[in-house]
Amino acid sequence: MLAPFVLLTGCSSLMKENNLTRNGALASQPMMVVARPIEFGMETLGDAKGTASVEKFLFFTISGDRPDVSLPIVGKQSRDSLETLACYRAAQSKGGDAFYAISSEWEKMNLLGIYRKRSVTVTGKSMKIKDLGELSPERADKPINRTTDTSGSAKAVGFFKRLFGIFSL
């Protein structure tokens, strides 16, 4: 029978400063990496329309699409996978990377759960994501004060001043 054993290693230094030696030493300095935020924008490529359909017998796909795509879609959030495929096709028709879904039209047929046919047509805007580059240091480091507004609108005034008029605290 083999007896388990524990092997511990470690190192320690009581020196207050590291001196240059001919041998390697663990005397590294901390390093800081500064990264600026990167801006992205969207370019609208135009109106687009996409379709997708599927036919199933029992639980087996007999014709149509097998949707398995992912795409940034703006608009209605709860999407069927067939609708996502139609949005993908619409965005790709104009060379886009994303899609703004405006409307979707469904055609469904169900015969006692044995035979089902579904098709969807989506319309919207095809969009291209553009890399605008890094923010300039002056713009990225500028403090943002969201509590003041120079336009003189009602939201620039404090809560109590809006509530009580000139008799604010």
Give the pLDDT mean for 116-123: 93
Model confidence over 27-46: pLDDT tens digits?
555 665 556 678 888 889 99
Please give the sequence-ordered ranges of beta strands (E in DSSP) within the chain, or none if there are none.
38-57, 60-64, 73-74, 98-111, 115-134
Angle at alpha carbon of residue 133, lines to 127 and 136, rounded to 5°: 135
CB neighbour list of residue 166: distance below 8 Å, 6 or more residues apart: none
pTM confidence score:
0.57
Average pLDDT, the chain: 75
